[in-house]
Chains A and B, each alone.
Chain A
Amino acid sequence: MVTLAIETEGLSKSYGRKQAAASVSFSVASGTVFGLLGPNGAGKSTTVKMLVGLVRPSSGTAKVFGRPPDHAHARRGLGYVPEQFRFPEWMRAHEFLRFHAELAGVSTTDRQPEVTRVLREVGLEHREHDQLRTFSKGMLQRIGIAQAMVGRPQLVVLDEPTSALDPIGRRDVRDLIVRLRSEGVTVLLNSHLLSEVETVCDHVVIMDRGRIVRAGSMADVTRGHLEVEVRCVGLTSQAVRALEARWTVHRRGVEDGSSEPQTLTISVANECEATDIADILVSGGARLLAMVPRRRTLEDVFVESVTTTDGNAIVRERQ
């Protein structure tokens, strides 16, 4: 039987007339990495805050390891990195971590080894005695992740943990997440970096305007999104109609019988269907220049999901 680290049922939060989260229901199995995606203002951070007991839901329920998040016992097994917070820069790295180890209930004798361990995990063991005010933004983000790991929590909630990190730092955090999963730790990752989520997450929820618009395992979410990109000349409208009779065809300015190269993108169920496409095109008089099967990325799914519900969402995001 799968143990659930997180379980939400109809979780909603309203601020006056604005609904930040609406009927959010999902569950996260223990020992998995779960991605929470969505454009700005989608309700991700509100959902995360409800899960760590910082925000009270207007309706619905949330459980962390079977207990309400505001229950001290639920938070004993929780490590959290908020999206934005100011570090007590007057503290030294080891003092900051030691303080959080105390709050997390780490025994006096285990505190120093625990501080050393988490500093090593984030690659900052050489800065143990330095004041946080001397740390770069990326180093502070690493220290934030280190504080979430003190006391070996069973659930680590990371809200945009790599936004200030360079590519190497991001890779380190990805490796760290994978390592945590291998140790049986559940990770909830709220990130804008879709490639990062795609690389490490087992399950994903995409939110838009406070609602879940897509959810499932990473394989489920991207399954059925295989495409074949076809480049050809001499394409006729008759051939295109024959293709459209079987598949969904995305065409950009196709001209009947044009001698200029034209591109079609066709959604298929499996790669073998590419030969059928080639037959139809060739028998229709077209000459094939290229045929490239490609699986749609999480980014494609994300863009499709949020533009479907709000045409302006992605424009907003990219601005």
Chain B
Amino acid sequence: MNVLRIAALTWDETRRARALVAGIALTAIFLGFFSWGVSAAASEFGRARPSPVMALANQSNIDFASIIWGQVLSAGLYGVAGIGALLAIFLGAPSIAREVETGTLQLLASRPIGRWEIVTGKWLGGCALLVAYVGGSGALACASVWYLTGYAPGNPTLVISALSIQVVVLHSLTIATSSVLPTITAGIIPVILHGIAGFAGFGERIGILLDSAILKKTGIVASLILPSDVAWQLAASQAQPPNPLPALGFNAPMGPFDVISAPSPWVAAYAVVYALGGLAFAIWRVNQKDL
């Protein structure tokens, strides 16, 4: 019960600090631009003369429009995932470190409430906000593309779930760093790790193209250290139609947002375990801490 009280307090604080309103307003602007872009692309696509690539696709019975709109949707979801990742870190970094620095945690911890309840409540409140954010804005991006182009991913729920896993993983890591380090450092570390994971993800995709074992391993190792980019890859793979090119003898991506090889579903399981591990570490650390 206390966990839910603290989670509700986190919601309330975010709402009253106008962070929620600002986030929703800016996301609305982003989704507005995105929809306008999709709309413009859809009308251009209808009027465009068939290119050699389109002609080749038609000859091979490939649904070229689905490939294009899958890429466009992935671009929108990439924006949602990027903003979600930053929000996960910004919400998580001060959640424990700042509370300790300002003495707020001392006041809470002097009440008949376990420290684990405080940490879990903050984690749960943050995760609920982030999942609501990526769930809402991801669903709007999917709806916008479907309405304007008629394209819908095979399983939108999986897309949203994978995006949610990404923000939960990042939020959990940040709460763990926030239980040990000052606010700024607690935020910087996940930003850098997430950047490295993203960079290694690109490396892995290039490795698949070049069939380079070292580059592929780099991506796998980075995914084990922080499975945030691999969660994005899972979302992107679900947002697009299956890649028909390998069947034609081309081991090439469908576009800049294609992941070439969809991550294993075990990645999602590992990411969930990783997130729970981050929470467990934060609880353990706060329990040990002199406040």
Binding site for B on A (CB under 8 A): 49, 52-56, 72-73, 75-76, 78, 80, 82, 84-86, 88, 90-91, 99-100, 102-105, 147
Contact = CB atoms under 8 A, between A and B. Distances in A.
A86 B17 CA distance: 15
Contact of A88 (B5, B104, B110, B114): B104
B2 interface: yes
Contacts of A80: 107, 110
Nearest to A54: B291
30 contacts: A49-B290, A49-B291, A53-B109, A53-B110, A54-B290, A54-B291, A55-B290, A55-B291, A56-B290, A72-B113, A73-B112, A75-B112, A80-B110, A82-B106, A82-B107, A82-B110, A85-B102, A85-B104, A85-B106, A88-B104, A91-B16, A100-B111, A102-B5, A103-B2, A103-B5, A103-B108, A103-B111, A104-B112, A105-B112, A147-B107
Interface of B: 2, 5, 9, 13, 16-17, 102-104, 106-114, 290-291
Q: Which of B17, B106, B110 has the most CB of A within 10 A?
A: B110
Given A90-B17, A99-B9, A54 B102 contact: no
B288 to A, nearest CB: 8
A80 B291 CA distance: 14
Nearest to A20: B290
Contacts, number: 58
A85 B5 contact: no
Nearest to A104: B111
Nearest to B6: A103
Contacts of B110: 52-54, 75, 78, 80, 82
Which are the 5 A-B pairs with shortest beta-carbon distances?
A85-B103, A86-B102, A103-B111, A80-B110, A90-B16
Contacts of A73: 112
A75 B107 contact: no
B148 to A, nearest CB: 39
- B contacts with A: majority SS: helix
Contacts of B13: 88, 90
Contacts of B103: 82, 84-86
Contacts of B291: 49, 54-55
Contacts of B108: 103
B103 to A, nearest CB: 3
B114 A72 contact: yes
A76 B107 CA distance: 13
Nearest to A79: B110
Contacts of B109: 53-54
Contacts of A82: 103, 106-107, 110
B123 to A, nearest CB: 18
B29 to A, nearest CB: 25
Q: Which of B102, B107, B111, B112 has the most CB of A within 10 A?
A: B111
A90 B9 CA distance: 11
A88 B16 CA distance: 11
A247 to B, nearest CB: 48
A91 B108 CA distance: 15
Contacts of A52: 110
A284 B111 CA distance: 67
Q: Which of A52, A54, A72, A82 has the most CB of B within 10 A?
A: A54
Nearest to B291: A54
Given A54-B290, A90-B13, A99-B9, A85 B107 contact: yes
B106 A103 contact: no
Contacts of B106: 49, 54, 82, 85
Contacts of B111: 75, 100, 103-104
A125 B107 CA distance: 22
Contacts of B290: 49, 54-56
Nearest to A100: B111
A73 B103 CA distance: 22
Given A54-B290, A99-B5, A99-B9, A86 B104 contact: yes
B219 to A, nearest CB: 42
Contacts of B16: 90-91
